[in-house]
Amino acid sequence: MTSTDPSSLAAAKARYDDERAKRVRDEGVGQYHSLNEYQLDQDPWADPNFTRDPIIEEVEVVILGGGFAGMLAATDLLRRGITSFRIIEKAADFGGTWYWNRYPGCMCDVDATIYLPLLEETGYMPTERYASASEIFAYCQLLGRHFGLYEHALFQTEIESLKWDDDARRWDLVSKRGDQIRTQFFIAAGGLMHKAKLPGIEGIELFEGKAFHTTRWDYDYTGGSPTESMDHLRDKVVGIIGTGATSVQVVPQLARTAKEVYVFQRTPSAVGVRAQMPIDAEWFRSLPAGWQQERMRNFTEVVTGNTEEVDLLGDGWTAAMRVDTQTIPTTDEQRAELESIDFEVMEGFRRRVDEVIEDKETAEKLKPWYGKHCKRLCFHDEYLQSFNLPNVHLVDTDGRGVREMSAAGPIVDGKEFPLDLLIFASGFEVTTGLVDRLGFDPVGRDDVLLSERWHDGTHSLHGVITAEFPNLFVVSFIQAGFGLNFVHFLSESANHITWLIKHCLTEGIASIEATVEAEDEWLQTLWKRSGAIAQYNKTCTPSYGNSEGARTMLAARGAVYPGSLMAYAALLDDWRNAGTLEGTRVVPNS
Ligand code: NDP
């Protein structure tokens, strides 16, 4: 039993409520804008003059997306002996988020031995415990070569339309490059966070300086590279909007070279110790067969509150998430215990601010006042330290965010901040409609549009299949399981989807889709089990994790299977093993 001074806890809870109230906005996710509204969506890494002849072909499977989701779906198809597939990718290479995000300092704060998939299959040893973006991107290319995925890929290609032909029981896909591809199965693996967003700021279009989103870093302007210093910034005044996990990694790099750096903050992140270290080759080579799956499982169990598990990873994540404080307490004693644990974890983050930050006023503004499950935690050893440097200035907006912009720069509390460069570290769309994030509107049976069928949010069985859209599989944690280690979730999702495809091919099934009844039942299951999270979320500051605090049907249908990803994986496993394909409508080959 932990003991916390009740008055400190009560004061913290009151402060959490105050901070939340400052931030809730009626617009919810509607406050944000897309990059292409402001012509900020160009791919800085691709050859804009690339052309190729269109192709006309028929395959068994089309995978949309060449990030880890698409690559894992592809390697799983190969594992199951399915070789007739195409991967369609907007970018010019594999990598997904690791293709786009090449901002300085970019890395993954989840342990590389569980984040980089298929390490046992490729024999690759990560160099450091927390791999840099460059290393991860190179590893994606290695996966592409190792598994022969390049020959399946159509890069710099976007889908124009996707239409189900119910007589042929095939999808007809047309790309913006004129390709016409007929496929039996379609996997939407376009990424969990692939669509970058801009903050809703009045007059944002007026800004006359240089501006870009962190996913579209312009090294021509800043100089340097992901590993070299940005020398062109030495005489530049730079602003950055957003203080989430991306900004936490970028700010220390800007601080190194820019003349002045203004960090515009709406809500401070909780930033713990990262403790980077090289991977010990002897230890790595001594790991027994099956070690990666076991390590992934162990991490997922530990960070979703399975206290029976031995903590194999032992890092900031496992320490902070060891106890799931979103659990609904059954006794007053347990309630007090959970509140106390949550408070103490967050107090640890707040104490670290006091230990690191020299200026007391700045320290107060950098303290996170919310529960530990409200926002994604961050781990970094240079971010907070940056605010002790004379060229780094925190512009705290007291929860309001930057709301006004002039030609010169952001305006906060009536004060204008003239900038040469403005960087948007404002994140990605997560819980907006799938069609919006896909960039095209699939046409299902009887010409029904996915945007119509899902006008009020996701309708699915297990988050994967949907009625009236046969053989369309979605990789997304909306209505599915979720793992702090995204790649673990993607592996489970790819495994399930490719099992379904293989099953259809071997059992002579032409198409499979969810029944409406099964979708409704699944939603009820999610809602019944989500009570604890919903209860906890009520006290949370808005974030992408809770649809920016929205109370809409879209947000409600965006529920995630609560609890451990392992529980979701076990549920899928049981469903597959039952062999009845319960809740689906299946049409045999004619
Ligand atoms: P986030 O959505 O986490 O952060 C966006 C930031 O922009 C928030 O601080 C938000 O404030 C702020 N913001 C939005 N509007 C305004 C405004 N008008 N004025 C001022 N600030 C504003 O995006 P990130 O790109 O940082 O991270 C997204 C996700 O990407 C992470 O959660 C993580 O899953 C992944 N990621 C993972 C990394 C890793 O190491 N594994 C590294 C980087 C990213 P508020 O909090 O108030 O909404």
Closest ligand 1 atom to the C-alpha of 110?
A: 41
How many C-beta neighbours within 10 Å does residue 31 have? 16
Question: What are the tens digits of pLDDT across the range 246-266?
Answer: 999 999 999 999 999 999 999
Whole-angstrom distance, CA of residue 76 vs CA of residue 80: 6
Which residues 6+ apart lie within 8 Å of 475 measured at CB? 65, 69, 73, 187, 188, 189, 192, 464, 490, 493, 494, 497
Q: How far apart are CA 134 and CA 154, in angstroms?
A: 22
Are residues 98 and 181 part of one domain?
yes
Q: Is the CB of 241 under 6 A from ligand 1?
A: yes
For the domain that residue 416 is a member of, what is the CATH number?
3.50.50.60
Rounded Cα distance between 228 and 253, Å, is 10
Cβ proximity of 74 and 187 under 8 Å: no
Q: How many A from CA of 63 to the centre of ligand 1? A: 28
- Residue 243 included in any domain: yes
- 193 Cβ inside 6 Å of ligand 1: yes
**Does residue 508 lie in a domain region?**
yes
Q: How confident is the model at residue 544 (pLDDT cuts 50, 70, 90)?
A: confident
| 533 within a domain of the structure (yes/no) | yes
Pick 30 or 136 by higher pLDDT: 136
- The closest-lying atom of ligand 1 relative to the alpha carbon of residue 402 is 19
* In-domain check, residue 294: no
Task: For residue 80, name the pLDDT band (cuts at 50, 70, 90).
Answer: very high
Same domain membership, residue 210 and residue 124: no
Q: How big is the chain, counted in residues?
A: 590
The values of phi and psi at residue 587, to 5°, are: -115, 125
Q: Is 486 in the pocket of ligand 1 (CB under 6 A)?
A: no
Q: Which of 392, 424, 456 is the last residue of a domain?
A: 424
Domain boundary among 384, 404, 424: 424
In a shared domain, residues 24 and 164: no
Whether 73 has a pLDDT exceeding 80, the answer reads yes
d(CA 111, CA 309) in angstroms, rounded, equals: 18
Residue at 220: amino acid letter? D
Tell how far the Cα of 181 is from the centroid of ligand 1, in angstroms: 37
Given 3-state DSSP classes, what are the helix, strand and coil percentages for the chain, each rounded to the nearest 5? 40, 15, 45
521 and 561: one domain? yes
Say if 309 falls within a structural domain: no
Question: Average of pLDDT values for 430-458?
Answer: 90
Name the residue with the closest Cα to ligand 1, atom 6: 242
Which residue owns the Cα nearest ligand 1 atom 28?
Answer: 427
Question: Do 388 and 517 sit in the same domain of this protein?
Answer: no
Q: Rounded to an integer, what distance in angstroms lies between the CA atom of residue 537 and that of residue 545?
A: 9
Q: How is residue 213 written in tokens?
A: 């989103």
Give the tens place of pLDDT for each residue, 118-142: 999 999 999 999 999 999 999 999 9
pLDDT for residue 348 is more than 70: yes
Residue 84, domain member (yes or no) = yes
pLDDT of residue 434: 84
Give the pLDDT band (50/70/90) at residue 234. Answer: very high
Q: Give the number of the atom of ligand 1 that is nearest the alpha carbon of residue 23.
A: 47
How many domains does the structure of the chain reveal? 2
Same domain, 440 and 398: no
- SS3 assignment, position 442: coil
Residues 453, 541, single domain; the answer is yes
Separation CA 234–CA 222 (nearest Å):
9
Q: pLDDT per residue over 547-562, tens digit each?
A: 677 667 777 888 889 8
Establish whether residue 201 lines the binding site of ligand 1, counting it when its CB lies within 6 angstroms of any ligand atom. Answer: yes
Q: Which residue segment(s) compose the domain that 340 sits in?
A: 6-39+197-274+328-424
Ligand 1 centroid vs 543 CA: distance in angstroms? 9
Ligand 1 centroid–CA 118 distance in Å is 28
- pLDDT interval class at 35 (50, 70, 90): confident
Q: How many CB atoms lie within 10 A of CB 168?
A: 12
| 533 & 401 share domain | no
Q: Which residue among 129, 398, 412, 426 is best mutated to probe the pocket of ligand 1, counting the most ligand atoms within 8 A of its Cβ?
A: 426
Closest ligand 1 atom to residue 31 Cα is 15
Same domain, 144 and 211: no
Integer CA distances (angstroms), 405 to 157, 173, 190, 418, 425, in order: 35, 42, 33, 10, 16
pLDDT average, residue stretch 104-120: 97
How confident is the model at residue 535, as a pLDDT? Answer: 82
Residue where one domain finishes, among candidates 401, 424, 447: 424
Q: What is the mean pLDDT of the chain?
A: 94
| CA of residue 163 to ligand 1 center, whole Å | 35
Q: Is residue 286 part of a domain?
A: no
Is residue 414 domain-shared with residue 378, that is, in the same domain?
yes
- The CA 448 to ligand 1 mean position distance, Å, reads 35
pLDDT for residue 38 is more than 80: no
Residues 183 and 223 in one domain: no
Distance CA(230)–CA(421), nearest Å, equals 13
pLDDT at 27 over 80: no
Residue 202 and residue 181 share a domain:
no
